[in-house]
């Protein structure tokens, strides 16, 4: 039989754990509750963004505005209004050879979870942004757009783009972070006609003028040691190409990933593509967002772990069963009728659990 003193001690320990869990849960749900501060953003995030650029570029061979834009990278918020990160970007197909750009920044979060701030890279051109913080914990996201300089309201914003930031896995990453089956989709354009496309055209067929719009969707399997393989259906200017591919990749501790993709079509055409981006989320909510860093590409890709994956993903989902059901998606590339230029990537998400009851 427990003594009265021991019983009181156990009660106090249980109360302490309950209060600790309440505090952690409350902190993780700040944005969901609509009460935020600079401390709401604290930790490492990955981001992807796309849109149109309007700022002149001080580089030889740079495109003339307006031009298509895609970007991906990582950013760390310190909870006190400061940030730093690195970015990969394609500005109308100009990718700086795939090199990452380091940047610093500042931010401010209002009580209603609106964040605003700026980023400053080595080029010395400040980018101002504003957006909304949603969710809490590992499900926290920031949906943002770029705006003009608040100190000069009549100045134009250099980018018309939208982006999403999501938290990277706790404890960092390695090649082993990616293991199992993932859904894959992507969209974008080519600013020049690639040699491998010309090789695939029937003899005498006209070469389509750039920009060339494309999308794809498929499936990829990662082995956790730096290798992937998969297949997809690609739609380039209405030309449908079933494709298989192999990927080698590196991952650093900050969850940045650098994939090299070798793709082959049934007609014998092949090409190698380089990408860069960031791993976000955990378990069945794990995602990989990248952009193509080869010249003449403005293209974003996304991978999402399939719900049937075993191992760590399922262990995470068993602890969070609603998360697994609520995050189900289907990624599609719409085949085009012959002779058209309809290229539509689509994502189908299941309705809320409440609606399924």
Every domain of the chain and the residues it spans: 32-167, 176-356
Q: Which residues contact 211 (CB under 8 A, 6 or more apart)?
A: 68, 189, 190, 191
Tokens 């690195």 belong to residue: 86
Domain 176-356, what fold?
Porin (2.40.160)
CA gap 5, 10 in Å, rounded:
9
Measured at the CA of 335, the angle between CA 72 and CA 260, to 5 degrees, comes to 35
CA gap 93, 299 in Å, rounded:
9
3-state SS class at 315:
helix
- The pLDDT of residue 337 is 44
Half-sphere exposure of 46 (CA within 13 A, CB side): 27
In this structure, are residues 314 and 323 in contact, taking their beta carbons and an 8 Å threshold?
no
- The pLDDT of residue 69 is 97
Q: How many other CB atoms are there within 10 angstroms of residue 65's CB atom?
A: 14
Residue 71: in which H helix or E strand, if any? strand 67-78
Q: How many other CB atoms are there within 10 angstroms of residue 29's CB atom?
A: 16
- The pLDDT of residue 309 is 41
pLDDT (tens digit per residue) in 157-187: 999 999 999 999 999 999 999 999 999 999 9
- The pLDDT of residue 224 is 97
* Count of helices and strands (H, E) across the chain: 6, 18
Which pairs from 83-86 meet CB under 8 Å and 24+ separation? Answer: 83/41, 83/107, 83/117, 83/119, 85/119, 86/256
DSSP state of 64: P
CA gap 159, 129 in Å, rounded:
10
Positions of the chain with pLDDT under 70: 1-34, 266-269, 307-357
In 3D space, the residue among 102, 62, 13, 86 whose CA is nearest the CA of residue 276 turns out to be 86
CATH class of 32-167: mainly beta
In 3D space, the residue among 243, 224, 234 whose CA is nearest the CA of residue 181 turns out to be 224
In 3D space, the residue among 182, 244, 264 whose CA is nearest the CA of residue 219 turns out to be 182
CA gap 119, 72 in Å, rounded:
14
Residue 313: in which H helix or E strand, if any? helix 312-319
Tokens 């957006």 belong to residue: 131
3-state SS class at 28:
helix
CA gap 120, 127 in Å, rounded:
7
SS3 percent helix, strand, coil of the chain, rounded to 5, is 20, 50, 35
In 3D space, the residue among 142, 141, 220, 230 whose CA is nearest the CA of residue 181 turns out to be 220
Are 32-167 and 176-356 the same fold in CATH?
no
Report the Cα 57 to chain-centroid distance in Å: 25
């Amino acid at each position: 039989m427990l003594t009265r003193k021991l019983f009181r001690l156990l009660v106090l320990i249980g109360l302490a754990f309950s209060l600790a869990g309440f505090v952690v849960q409350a902190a993780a749900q700040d944005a969901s509750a609509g009460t935020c501060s600079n401390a709401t953003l604290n930790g490492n995030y990955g981001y992807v963004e796309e849109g149109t650029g309007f700022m002149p570029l001080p580089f030889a061979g740079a495109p003339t505005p307006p031009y298509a834009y895609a970007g991906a990278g990582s950013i760390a918020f310190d909870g006190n209004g400061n940030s730093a990160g690195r970015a990969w970007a394609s500005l109308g197909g100009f990718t700086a050879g795939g090199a990452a750009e380091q940047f610093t920044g500042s931010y401010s979060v209002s009580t209603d979870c609106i964040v605003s701030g700026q980023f400053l890279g080595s080029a010395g051109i400040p980018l101002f942004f504003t957006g909304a913080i949603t969710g809490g914990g590992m499900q926290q996201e920031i949906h943002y757009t770029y705006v003009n300089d608040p100190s000069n309201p009549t100045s134009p914003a250099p980018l018309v783009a939208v982006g999403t930031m999501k938290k990277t896995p706790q404890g960092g990453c390695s090649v082993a972070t990616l293991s199992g089956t993932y859904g894959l989709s992507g969209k974008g354009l080519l600013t020049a006609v690639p040699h491998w496309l010309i090789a695939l055209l029937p003899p005498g067929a006209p070469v389509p003028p750039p920009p060339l719009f494309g999308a794809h969707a498929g499936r990829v399997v990662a082995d956790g040691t730096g290798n992937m393989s998969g297949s997809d259906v690609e739609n380039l200017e209405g030309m449908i190409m079933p494709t298989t591919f192999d990927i080698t990749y590196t991952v650093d501790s900050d969850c940045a990933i650098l994939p090299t993709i070798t793709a082959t079509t049934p007609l014998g055409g092949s090409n190698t593509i380089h990408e860069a981006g960031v791993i976000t989320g955990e378990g069945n909510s794990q995602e990989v967002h990248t952009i193509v860093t080869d010249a003449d590409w403005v293209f974003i890709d996304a991978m999402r772990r399939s719900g049937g994956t075993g191992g760590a993903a399922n262990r995470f989902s068993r602890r969070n069963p609603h998360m697994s059901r609520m995050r189900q998606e289907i990624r599609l590339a719409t085949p085009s009728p012959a002779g058209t230029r309809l290229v539509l990537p689509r994502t189908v998400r299941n309705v809320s659990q409440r609606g399924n009851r």
